[in-house]
């Protein structure tokens, strides 16, 4: 966003808010395209594929945009499978991750013909074997290794430590490869890892990659052909002015170095890096309130729309649309209307003074914003728009009240279970 002009890709946010209302998610198509192309370029020369982590932002229009740039999908549920397929992503370009895949989800993924399962437990191997045998097909799978490294990120989004629920130790993985014959409908020929999200240092990635590379060499030496290494996602972004995030080239260099000599296919599963900085949450100031100890700026967006600050104490830059010029500076607690103290976007944030009715943009909201939204406090889901070249497309209409309660029923029909 250009804060001084209040525009995104030539679309004036004031006009956009007047037409579509607030809170409103605004995504820049060129910014997303720019990221996916930068990553593709950085990986050029490697036999590598991008598997976008749908959880970051699963809006169908975003998936289509990424699919048009050649990205596949990393999914974690049957719902994400359907989203990816409907967006036109080839089943062969879909990988299925997650610790708790149900039989129904595994069956749907096999029916669709997805490219690969990232397996995290023996029980899951058994389930895939049973379901693939019933279908008379062969599933392709990678083992998710838990490399036991500290990703140096927020505890709630760290996934590669021994105490986390994700992946398995190499000892267990080795036993699976050695005993693979017991799963005849499964081709176990890949390795996977994902150590955490919002990684601002590549050091943990390098360490984990080295551990995985050592294990791949060991498996090859033992006669197990490894066709695919999936390095997961996790690449961090700049949420705060001045923060430095790794770039695609550095990331790709780390992969190249660690996996030098690997002849199979390399997969990457970025979510946040592709979409976070391409999106903002446009919201209107409801009122200003001087509390006894704090000055509050109350917005019409709440934790139900953007949960990250409440859940992870995450920082998002917040700017007044229309700029700061000639306005006194105020330390605001920027909050939403939801009935919880946790409904806070920022504490003691230095901002230009804002008036009721002003528009404010919460930046870095393209990833894990709309995808984590809820209707808590009976607040309908926000609308989403994609902008490009001075125009916008409504890619999710604002939920109306009837849609919000459409699946509820009065208790007037009682059944015995």
Q: Is 272 in the site for ligand LLP (CB under 6 A)?
A: yes
339 as an active site residue: the answer is yes
CA distance 93 to 259: 21
Selected binder of ligand LLP within 23, 167, 270, 322 (CB under 6 A): 270
**Cα torsion angle, 318, 323, 326, 327, sign:** negative
If the CB atoms of residues 29 and 54 are measured against ligand LLP, the closer one turns out to be 54
The tokens describing 176, both together, are: 């699976």
**Binding letters toward ligand LLP, positions 217-236, x by CB under 6 A:** ---------------xxxx-
Separation between Cα atoms, residue 356 and residue 302, nearest integer Å: 16
Part in contact with ligand LLP (CB under 6 A); list of ranges 134-142, 268-276, 285-293, 352-360: 268-276
Half-sphere exposure of 71 (CA within 13 A, CB side): 32
Which residue number, 74 or 305, has a Cβ lying nearer to ligand LLP? 74
The DSSP letter of residue 24 is E
**For ligand LLP, which is the closer residue by CB, 68 or 155?**
155
**Cβ proximity of 209 and 255 under 8 Å:** yes
Q: Which of residues 149-208 bind ligand LLP (CB under 6 A)?
A: 157, 194, 197-198
- Give the residue from 264, 267, 169, 158 showing the smallest Cα distance to 211: 169
CB 197 within 8 A of CB 272: yes
Scored b (16 or more CB within 10 A) or e, 352-389 reads bebeeebbbbbbbbbbbbbbbbeeeeebbbbbbbbbbe
Instruction: Find the shortest distance in angstroms from Cβ 37 to ligand LLP.
Output: 17
- Set 181, 260, 293, 339: catalytic member: 339
Tokens describing residue 201: 């240092």
In the bound state with ligand LLP, the residue whose beta carbon lies nearer, of 97 and 304, is 97
Token pair for residue 125?
């191997």
Q: Which backbone phi and psi does 408 adopt, to 5 degrees? A: -80, 150
Given the complex with ligand LLP, which of 211 and 272 has the nearer CB atom? 272
Q: Which of 101, 116, 284, 308 binds ligand LLP (CB under 6 A)?
A: 308
- Segment 372-411, which members bind ligand LLP (CB under 6 A)? none
Positions marked active-site: 339
Residue ranges that bind ligand LLP, judged by CB under 6 A: 53, 56, 74, 97, 157, 194, 197-198, 232-235, 269-273, 308, 312, 368
* Known binding-site residue numbers: 234, 269-272, 308, 312, 340, 368
* Known binding-site residue numbers for pyridoxal 5'-phosphate: 234, 269-272, 368
* Known binding-site residue numbers for substrate: 272, 308, 312, 340, 368
């Amino acid at each position: 966003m250009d804060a001084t002009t209040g525009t995104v890709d030539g679309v004036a946010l004031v006009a956009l808010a007047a037409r579509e209302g607030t809170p409103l998610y605004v995504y820049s198509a060129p910014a997303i395209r720019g990221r996916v192309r930068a990553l593709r370029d950085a990986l050029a020369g490697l036999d590598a594929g991008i598997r976008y982590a749908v959880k970051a932002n699963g809006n169908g229009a975003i998936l289509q945009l990424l699919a048009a740039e050649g990205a596949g999908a990393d999914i974690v549920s049957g719902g994400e499978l359907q989203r990816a397929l409907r967006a036109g992503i080839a089943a062969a370009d879909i990988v299925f991750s997650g610790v708790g895949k149900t039989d129904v989800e595994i069956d749907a993924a096999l029916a669709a013909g997805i490219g690969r399962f990232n397996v995290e437990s023996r029980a899951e191997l058994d389930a895939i074997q049973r379901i693939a045998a019933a279908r008379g097909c062969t599933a392709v799978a990678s083992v998710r290794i838990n490399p036991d490294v500290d990703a140096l990120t927020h505890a709630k989004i760290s996934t590669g430590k021994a105490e986390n629920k994700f992946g398995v130790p190499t000892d267990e993985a080795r036993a699976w490869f050695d005993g693979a014959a017991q799963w005849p409908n499964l081709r176990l020929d890949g390795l996977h890892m994902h150590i955490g999200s919002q990684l601002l240092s590549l050091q943990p990635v390098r360490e984990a990659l080295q551990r995985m590379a050592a294990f791949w060499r060991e498996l090859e030496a033992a006669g197990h052909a490894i066709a695919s290494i999936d390095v997961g996602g996790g690449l961090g972004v700049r949420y705060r002015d001045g923060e430095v995030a790794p770039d695609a080239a550095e990331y790709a260099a780390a992969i190249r170095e660690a996996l030098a000599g690997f002849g199979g296919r390399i997969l990457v599963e970025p979510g946040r890096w592709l979409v976070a900085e391409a999106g903002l949450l446009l919201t209107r100031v409801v009122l200003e309130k001087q509390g006894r100890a704090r000055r509050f700026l109350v917005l019409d967006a709440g934790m139900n729309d953007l949960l990250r600050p409440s859940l992870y104490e995450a920082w998002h830059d917040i700017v007044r649309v229309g700029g700061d010029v000639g306005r006194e500076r105020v330390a605001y607690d920027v909050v939403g209307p939801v009935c919880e103290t946790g409904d806070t976007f920022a504490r003691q944030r230095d901002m230009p003074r804002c008036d009721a009715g002003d528009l404010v943009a919460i930046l870095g909201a393209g990833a894990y914003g709309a995808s984590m939204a809820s209707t808590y406090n009976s607040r309908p889901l926000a609308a989403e728009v994609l902008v490009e070249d001075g125009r916008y497309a409504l890619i999710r209409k604002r939920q109306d009240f009837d849609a919000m309660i459409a699946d509820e029923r009065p208790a007037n029909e009682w059944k015995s279970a």
